[in-house]
Structure 1
Amino acid sequence: MRRTLSARVAIAAGSSAVLAIAFAAPSVANAAETGGRHVLNGKPAWAAQAARVGAVPASTGLNFKVVLNLRDEAGAEALATAVATPGNANYHKYVTAAQWRSRFAPTDAQVAQVTSWLKSQGLKIGQIPANHRYVTVSGSTAQVNKAFGASMSHFKYKGRTETAPSAALSVPTNIAGLVAGVSGLDSTLRAVPSTSTGNTTHSVSTDKATASTKVTSDDTLPGPPDVFINSGPCSSYYGEKKATGLPTLPGVTNPMPYVVCGYKPGQIRSAYGEDRLLKAGYDGRGATVAIIDAFASPTILSDAQTYAQRNDPSHPLRGYQFSQSLPASYNSIDECGGNGWYGEETLDVEAVHATAPQANILYVGGASCYDSDLNSALNTVVDNQLAMVVSNSYGDAGEPTSLADVADSHQSAIQAAAEGISLLFSSGDNGDEVADLGYRTVDYEASDPFVTAVGGTSLAVKSDGSYGWEQGWGTGKSTLTNGAWTPAAPAYVYGGGGGTSQLFTQPAYQKGVVPASISNYFGKGDYRAVPDVAMDADPQTGFLVGETQAFPDGSTKYSEYRIGGTSLSSPLFAGEVALADQVVGGPLGFLNPAMYKLAGTPTFNDIASTGVSQAEVRVDFVNGVDASGGLRTTARTINQTGTIFTRKGYDDVTGVGTPNGVSFFIGITASKKLGVGGGGVGGGIKHGAPVTAAKPLR
């Protein structure tokens, strides 16, 4: 999953936020003509630091994608920018998928030219989506090596056996202008959910070595994951219970409160000011939110329905509100952590339902956690216009060096914007990535300029459910050892992702809003800053979820636990966007240009506090199940964010801020007037024809 960014590719943004991506043309900077061949992907940067341990056997089967170029990428980006920019004559004049294909997709003849060459190399052609974004290919290692000059090899890297080409890939010059690159041959390119339950950021195991890249296609999904149970004491709202009797922690308010037990849907809606909308009938009905993750929990619908019944009984999840689109088979289950993804799916579904309780939810499962499979799942939603909002709670650590992998995702982001689909990605759970990777970077796909990156906060909800305060999510940890906190200055463990891209230059919508100290952090000019917006993500102020889990006695049953991460903030915000879509009676589309115009207004809570001043006490079962293995007591600080930090105005932890109740809906739906009647919470909201049919947008 880890990617080291070295050979960076600058992607320039013009004054109208149109991106001219270098890999869209055959004269790409890292391509070269050699002996009638056109060089595509270079050797992965990480492989230069790894020890090659041998060649992949010639008979080993490989599955991958040949990513194709758009016919007019600059024109496609110009269109996507125009329909998303307030004040533009084409604002919200979206195109259909059919119109998109007719203008920008590779033609049938171009696809045939590429597939004809692939077949001539003995390779087998698989799925080709309607928008001709890519060609799915399979074949033996020997065939791949011969066709692309791949030299597929095994490497020892960070304690794992990884697979990748040890030489640059190339194609014949006669198809070079059609091919962006080859995706799926690098086994490190797999995403991890942005979730946290315990002491580590990721609840998904990725420790198993990979023999090769995606060689299986008939794996059976495992049963429920092992149970995780929160210990007590904990608070039903922020600050309810104080950890009196424990030693003081320097630099924070003492006595510290115990962490929340897990906020429930009503608390989230109340704190973020959605109650007035729900009472007026704005609850997301008719809007569809798509969720994309790897694999699929076999108990997701019953779990989500049980959860709603127990924790939000006035808003049941009805069967007709939930649907799934799943692949015919799965692969690389062990490498991806298997059923560890079930908790991610559960969080996403239950969080969307919490903030948009009448919205329809479409779950689209990727065949694996590899980028190429998740991108295929995203393309399914975008090219069939299956949703108004898409939430993606996963990502890669750092930005890619592979142009093909950028193209595979970036083209979906452009098409989504042109069609009026709001595309959200979690900003990541490792802050500035210094502690995790050893250098400062943002994560992809959150850094894509056509994506709304959702960062994280720590949220205090009061006893009456009202908004207390928010700070940037950045957690330092000290453990109570022999009556003292060790270390005395809490060590950073995780936090909301953010910072400055080194791949994408600054989009027009960020100009004048993002300070130069952030956009030009690396001294090379203004670049894309992350995130764009934020919501609650801190596991200590996290969300209660419920799913079927496996208990030590061999039983499987429904159980609830607290969870956090930007995997929480993204689906929470997706639900808010679904409500806004209902308010205006249609899709708001790519949100960033409109949101940045509203920066500094009451539309958003400006998370401007700095420094570590709050901390919470957390007691955990050492074995994650019960007290038989002992208890661990830790202090978790708030707003310990490293080289990124909250400040007045835009910041690289929370973006332009968090949605500020009804003011958010007034601002984001500015094309219509939101009439909030007098009488406080009971006031009516009277405008906008509600979306009445849950169906694909055509």
Structure 2
Amino acid sequence: MEEFRAVVLPYQLYQEERVNRKCTSTLWLSLQLALGLVIIGLLVSACSLPGVQSTTNTNTTSLTPKPTPKKSTHTVASQPSGTGKLPSGTPLPQDEVKPLTFNLAYNDGAMEQDVAQIFTPGSATFHQYLTPDQIVQRYALSGAQQQQVTDWLTQHGYTIDATDSLHTSIKVHATVANIEHTLNIKLNSYTIDGYQFFLQQGEPKLPEPVSSLVTSVIGLDNFAFPQFQPPFGFASHTATTLSSDCSKYGAKQTLTRNKLAAAYQVSQLYQQGYQGEGMTIGVAEFGDTYNPQDLAAYATCAGIAAPNVQNIDVDGHLASGTGQGEATMDLELIAGLAPKAQILDYQTDGKSTSFAQSMVDVFNRVASDHKVQVLSVSYGTYESAF
């Protein structure tokens, strides 16, 4: 099942999520996703299961040295693949405000090497996990370099919205007129088959020394967004129906919590007294709502206590809703199999920024929080669909 395949250790997630793309901006997004997952691998794994010892690395002498960013002027965003030959576009209103994310240079190569050593038995740094501060020190821009980018942005009319604690990106907003002027591009709107979107025209570049400190700019188009569909007709099920008739629980008793636990041999852990005590499980959800009443009804039918779920806003605020996607199923299955674990639901509203950037933001937030031992990332479709 997709749900159980996705609930894996963070470093395994890192291995699964690497996707090679040709265009510059898309390649950076996949690298950023890998970066977020590697950071999770460094941080999250440090919180071990009961009986497993782990330590925090205080000796970084054997880690890869941090290089000085190379000076080069490069294109910081490319048109997404698949657009084909477009009709004439309509210029966006000059006073329209757009959010952008300036992704900062990171020493990805050094991080990958160090992660490999951290997970290699016999290595001098085996299981010597890094703290967020150590990650920033080893792989991120210095505070002074990040300030250079911030100063350039404010001097050129951008408003700073946020800078993440791992020094991976700076979120800003500015008018279309200002974006076009500073990046030397045009932003045009298009409508094809009833779908309206905007794209950049031209190759955005930044001057030195900022060019060597910024790897990409996200938000210059909204051409491609994944469309999620309820996998099993969730729309036909409501909290009222489920709570009043447990005969329909677990696909009419064919896939109950106990049967799942037995199939995946989790029930053996129950016999040893393990039901998720002391564990914190993270769940990544992107614009997919859930109804707390559904969770309560599921718990009643499964014979467990009400799940301990805490929502964490990452990009925007996601209010509770009908739960017609995978969010409800994710939370129910996790709560059912680990009923005494705490669940942190990292949410994005699906509107504040691009989907790919939301993924990066969630992974970075999980790494910065340093609270979960397992992160569930269940997309509902294959990776290349993004």
The TM-score with structure 1 as length reference comes to: 0.41
Out of 80, 86, 89, the residue aligned to residue 50 of structure 1 is: 86
What residue is the counterpart of 2:148 in the other structure? Answer: 113
C-alpha distance 52-126 of structure 1, shift in aligned 2 (>3 A): same
What residue is the counterpart of 2:362 in the other structure? Answer: 377
Out of 271, 277, 292, the residue aligned to residue 263 of structure 2 is: 271
Output the CA distance in 2 between the equivalents of 1:100 and 1:83.
Answer: 13
Kindly state the Cα deviation for residue 340 of structure 1 after the two structures are TM-superposed.
6.9
Match of 1:392, as an amino acid? V
Out of 292, 296, 300, the residue aligned to residue 305 of structure 1 is: 296
Equivalence map 1:242-253=2 (5 Å):
none
What residue is the counterpart of 1:124 in the other structure? Answer: 159
Secondary structure, aligned partner of 1:127: strand
Out of 357, 374, 378, the residue aligned to residue 393 of structure 1 is: 378
Out of 262, 285, 292, the residue aligned to residue 293 of structure 1 is: 285
Out of 97, 107, 123, the residue aligned to residue 61 of structure 1 is: 97
Q: Give CA deviations for 1:29-59 in whole Å, capped at 9, x if unaligned.
A: xxx74xxxx4221222233343343111111
Kindly state the Cα deviation for residue 346 of structure 1 after the two structures are TM-superposed.
1.2
Contact 1:194 1:393 (8 Å CA) reproduced: no
C-alpha distance 73-5 of structure 1, shift in aligned 2 (>3 A): closer
Equivalence map 1:342-421=2 (5 Å):
343-368=325-350, 370-394=355-379
Kindly state the Cα deviation for residue 82 of structure 1 after the two structures are TM-superposed.
1.4
What residue is the counterpart of 1:197 in the other structure? Answer: 232
What residue is the counterpart of 1:325 in the other structure? Answer: 312
How many percent of aligned residue pairs carry the same amino acid?
A: 20
Secondary structure, aligned partner of 2:326: helix
**More RCO (CA 8 Å, sep 6+):** 2
C-alpha distance 367-145 of structure 1, shift in aligned 2 (>3 A): same
Output the CA distance in 2 between the equivalents of 1:191 and 1:352.
Answer: 24
Output the CA distance in 2 between the equivalents of 1:276 and 1:193.
Answer: 35
Equivalence map 1:447-466=2 (5 Å):
none
Q: Which has the higher helix share?
A: 2
Does residue 149 of structure 1 match 2:184?
Answer: yes
Secondary structure, aligned partner of 2:199: strand
Structure with larger Rg: 1
What residue is the counterpart of 1:185 in the other structure? Answer: 220
Kindly state the Cα deviation for residue 179 of structure 1 after the two structures are TM-superposed.
0.6
| Runs of 5+ unmatched residues, structure 1 | 13-23, 204-225, 239-258, 395-425, 430-441, 446-698
Q: Which has the higher strand share?
A: 1
Contact 2:230 2:324 (8 Å CA) reproduced: no
Kindly state the Cα deviation for residue 289 of structure 1 after the two structures are TM-superposed.
0.8
Secondary structure, aligned partner of 1:375: helix
Output the CA distance in 2 between the equivalents of 1:343 and 1:194.
Answer: 6
Match of 2:109, as an amino acid? A
C-alpha distance 342-388 of structure 1, shift in aligned 2 (>3 A): farther
Match of 1:64, as an amino acid? L
Contact 1:122 1:139 (8 Å CA) reproduced: yes
Match of 1:267, as an amino acid? K
Contact 2:190 2:197 (8 Å CA) reproduced: yes
Contact 2:23 2:80 (8 Å CA) reproduced: no
Does residue 175 of structure 1 match 2:166?
Answer: no
Q: Give CA deviations for 1:490-518 in whole Å, capped at 9, x if unaligned.
A: xxxxxxxxxxxxxxxxxxxxxxxxxxxxx
Output the CA distance in 2 between the equivalents of 1:237 and 1:328.
Answer: 33
Match of 1:291, as an amino acid? V
Aligned length: 320
Equivalence map 1:63-78=2 (5 Å):
63-70=99-106, 72-78=107-113
Output the CA distance in 2 between the equivalents of 1:358 and 1:174.
Answer: 51
Secondary structure, aligned partner of 2:130: coil
What residue is the counterpart of 1:587 in the other structure? Answer: none
Output the CA distance in 1 between the equivalents of 2:189 and 2:88.
Answer: 6
Q: Give CA deviations for 1:253-293 in whole Å, capped at 9, x if unaligned.
A: xxxxxx97761211111111111111111222111111121
| Runs of 5+ unmatched residues, structure 2 | 1-18, 32-67, 242-246
Secondary structure, aligned partner of 2:89: strand
C-alpha distance 99-25 of structure 1, shift in aligned 2 (>3 A): closer
Output the CA distance in 1 between the equivalents of 2:255 and 2:182.
Answer: 54
Contact 1:155 1:162 (8 Å CA) reproduced: yes
Secondary structure, aligned partner of 1:180: strand
C-alpha distance 67-7 of structure 1, shift in aligned 2 (>3 A): closer
Q: Give CA deviations for 1:512-551 in whole Å, capped at 9, x if unaligned.
A: xxxxxxxxxxxxxxxxxxxxxxxxxxxxxxxxxxxxxxxx
Secondary structure, aligned partner of 1:126: strand
C-alpha distance 148-41 of structure 1, shift in aligned 2 (>3 A): same
Contact 2:291 2:322 (8 Å CA) reproduced: no
Does residue 162 of structure 1 match 2:197?
Answer: yes
Backbone CA RMSD of aligned residues: 3.6
